[in-house]
């Protein structure tokens, strides 16, 4: 067998849902027929101009797209290197990138005739986005959320309640995102006939990683156009935080074949990679199988999944989307990590310099911008995905800094 050089990084997955060795469909038989049906329904919708028209309409008038690509002048001055642009996903309706994906999946669920929607959520942003669109279309909505996350993201729990969703606190395991996903899968196995599982990131069994990526890719497509308009050329580097990896994949995917563009994903290093208390599955994990796909996972020598740790509920997951695992192995995306403390400093800095309070998740990406941007020349164009706003994190940040923090 001769090894073919890759001439595109954008062709995956194959028909079995594989990105290299990653991805796949590792689910119980009960779910398989539905997953195959979903794959077909999505393929049909994707080819249907009416579906695109419907999506575009809601993206413009309900979500508020396009989101601005904003030149962060004072952050740029502060770093003294690269010219930094923020992709303002936090200005979307519901305050994060999550809604781009949820809109697509809910419109698809409607086409499939599903009336009952379930979702898992960590930070609560995906849960809020799902509850929002379920309210908009009159669908039943059940959100599984780890009991620890219910506690640390109270504001979002309240928002979901206001929107008419049922929030189920999950008491198993570490009571965070992984456990919420287990419980959502158990619900799905039980109610497979009536239920659509709206997964919040580029993970899970095929076709989810591909489908969520497609819905989120609007971030990168807009960025291309907006950067051409602003600077007359494409950016030199992209950077985004990685929980499961959906905001990052959305930004990266349209640029993967522009080989001169540097691409950085930032995982959560929690208390530090050496502490064992982190959520950096690529830097600190190895390949395994969980939640329907093969990918990098945090686990012990026996293949038992270990708990992730991050100040950010949205990054507190021991896995990562399979396409990221593959992009790591083939060397197209560089993976870095930021600690809780670095993220907290970046959170404060962006608030003070730009008047934008970021969510703790993208604060991890900002933290690495603070490292990378000063090393770049002044004509280097750097785009960071500001995936969500920080309102939901004010309690957490206040607790860490003491509420009189300045």
Ligand X SMILES: Cc1ncc(COP(=O)(O)O)c(C=O)c1O
- Give catalytic residues, as residue numbers: 98, 120, 387
- 28 touches other proteins (CB under 8 A): yes
Sorted by sequence, the CB contacts under 8 Å of residue 244 that are 6+ apart come out as 200, 201, 202, 203, 317, 319, 320, 321
Give 156's strand partners.
none
Contact 128, 94 (CB under 8 A): yes
Tell me how far apart the alpha carbons of residues 141 and 121 are, in angstroms, rounded to a whole number: 12
Tell me how far apart the alpha carbons of residues 347 and 290 are, in angstroms, rounded to a whole number: 32
Return the residues of window 299-318 that contact ligand X according to CB under 6 A. Answer: 314-315
Sorted by sequence, the CB contacts under 8 Å of residue 147 that are 6+ apart come out as 169, 170, 171, 175
Min dist CB 245 to other proteins, Å, is 19
Residue with nearest beta carbon to ligand X = 388
Q: Which of 69, 99, 263, 359 binds ligand X (CB under 6 A)?
A: 359
Contact code string over 131-170 relative to ligand X, x by CB under 6 A:
----------------------------------------
Residue 247 near which of other proteins, ligand X, none (CB within 5-8 Å, type-dependent):
ligand X
Q: Which of 290, 325, 359, 363 binds other proteins (CB under 8 A)?
A: 290
Q: Which of 200, 205, 215, 195 is nearest to 141 (CA)?
A: 195
- 13 touches other proteins (CB under 8 A): no
Q: Which of 25, 126, 206, 328 binds ligand X (CB under 6 A)?
A: 126
Q: Which is nearer to ligand X, 12 or 243 (CB)?
A: 243
Q: Which of 74, 110, 111, 186 binds other proteins (CB under 8 A)?
A: 186
- 356 touches ligand X (CB under 6 A): no
Stretch in the footprint of other proteins (CB under 8 A) among 122-130, 177-185, 258-266, 354-362: 177-185
- 112 touches other proteins (CB under 8 A): no
- 122 touches ligand X (CB under 6 A): yes
Q: Which of 57, 80, 276, 303 binds other proteins (CB under 8 A)?
A: 303
Q: What are the structure tokens assigned to 207, written together?
A: 């076709």
Sorted by sequence, the CB contacts under 8 Å of residue 274 that are 6+ apart come out as none
- 105 touches ligand X (CB under 6 A): no
Sequential DSSP letters for 344-404: HHHHHHHHHHHS--B-HHHHHHHHHHHHHGGGS-TT-EEEEEE-BBSGGGHHHHHHHH-TT
Tell me how far apart the alpha carbons of residues 130 and 132 are, in angstroms, rounded to a whole number: 5
Q: How far is CA 400 from CA 129, 177, 237, in A?
A: 27, 21, 32
Tell me how far apart the alpha carbons of residues 334 and 217 are, in angstroms, rounded to a whole number: 19
- 388 touches ligand X (CB under 6 A): yes
Contact 364, 388 (CB under 8 A): no
Residue 370 near which of other proteins, ligand X, none (CB within 5-8 Å, type-dependent):
none
Helix, strand or coil for residue 44?
Answer: helix
- 247 touches ligand X (CB under 6 A): yes
Stretch in the footprint of ligand X (CB under 6 A) among 119-127, 143-151, 256-264, 344-352: 119-127
Contact 343, 360 (CB under 8 A): yes
Stretch in the footprint of ligand X (CB under 6 A) among 103-111, 146-154, 286-294, 356-364: 356-364
- 1 touches other proteins (CB under 8 A): no
Give 262's strand partners.
237
Min dist CB 35 to other proteins, Å, is 9
Residue 290 near which of other proteins, ligand X, none (CB within 5-8 Å, type-dependent):
other proteins
Q: Which of 100, 223, 246, 293 binds ligand X (CB under 6 A)?
A: 246
Contact 192, 31 (CB under 8 A): yes
Residues 43, 48, 49, 53, CA torsion sign = negative
Residues that bind other proteins (CB under 8 A): 16, 24-34, 172-173, 178, 182, 185-186, 189-193, 288-292, 294, 297, 299, 301-305
Residues that bind ligand X (CB under 6 A): 96, 122-123, 125-126, 201, 241-248, 314-315, 359, 361-362, 387-388
């Amino acid at each position: 067998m001769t090894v073919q050089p890759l001439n595109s990084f954008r062709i995956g997955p194959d028909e079995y849902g594989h990105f290299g060795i990653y991805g796949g469909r590792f689910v119980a038989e009960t779910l398989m027929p539905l997953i195959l049906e979903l794959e077909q329904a999505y393929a049909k919708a994707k080819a249907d101009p009416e579906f695109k028209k419907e999506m575009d309409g809601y993206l413009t008038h309900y979500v508020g797209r396009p989101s601005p690509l904003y030149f962060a002048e004072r952050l740029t001055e502060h770093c003294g290197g690269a010219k930094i642009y923020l992709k303002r996903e936090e200005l979307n309706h519901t305050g994060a990138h999550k809604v781009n994906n949820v809109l697509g999946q809910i419109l698809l669920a409607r086409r499939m005739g599903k009336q009952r929607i379930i979702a898992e959520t960590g930070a609560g942003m995906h849960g809020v986005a799902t509850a929002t669109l379920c309210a908009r279309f009159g669908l039943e909505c059940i959100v599984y959320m780890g009991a620890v996350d219910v506690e640390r993201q109270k504001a979002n729990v309240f928002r979901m309640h206001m929107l008419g969703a049922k929030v189920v606190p999950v008491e198993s395991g570490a009571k965070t995102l992984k456990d919420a996903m287990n419980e959502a899968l158990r619900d799905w196995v039980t109610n497979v006939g009536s239920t659509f599982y709206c997964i919040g990131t580029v993970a899970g069994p095929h076709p989810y990683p591909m489908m969520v990526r497609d819905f989120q890719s609007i971030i990168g497509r807009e960025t291309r156009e907006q950067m051409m308009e602003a600077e007359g050329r494409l950016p030199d580097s992209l950077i985004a935080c990685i929980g499961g990896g959906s905001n990052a994949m959305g930004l990266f995917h349209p640029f993967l074949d522009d080989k001169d563009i540097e691409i950085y994903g930032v995982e959560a290093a929690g208390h530090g990679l050496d502490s064992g208390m982190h959520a950096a599955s690529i830097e600190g994990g190895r390949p395994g199988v969980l939640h329907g796909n093969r990918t990098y996972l945090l686990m012990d020598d026996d293949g038992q999944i270990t708990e992730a740790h991050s100040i950010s509920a949205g990054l507190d997951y021991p896995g990562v989307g399979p396409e990221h695992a593959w992009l790591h192995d083939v060397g197209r995306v560089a993976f870095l990590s930021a600690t809780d403390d670095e993220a907290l400093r970046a959170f404060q800095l962006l608030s003070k310099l730009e008047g934008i309070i970021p969510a703790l998740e993208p604060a991890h990406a900002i933290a690495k911008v603070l490292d990378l941007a000063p090393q770049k020349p002044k004509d280097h164009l750097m785009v960071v995905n500001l995936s969500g706003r920080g309102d939901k994190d004010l309690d957490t940040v206040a607790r860490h800094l003491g509420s009189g923090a300045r």
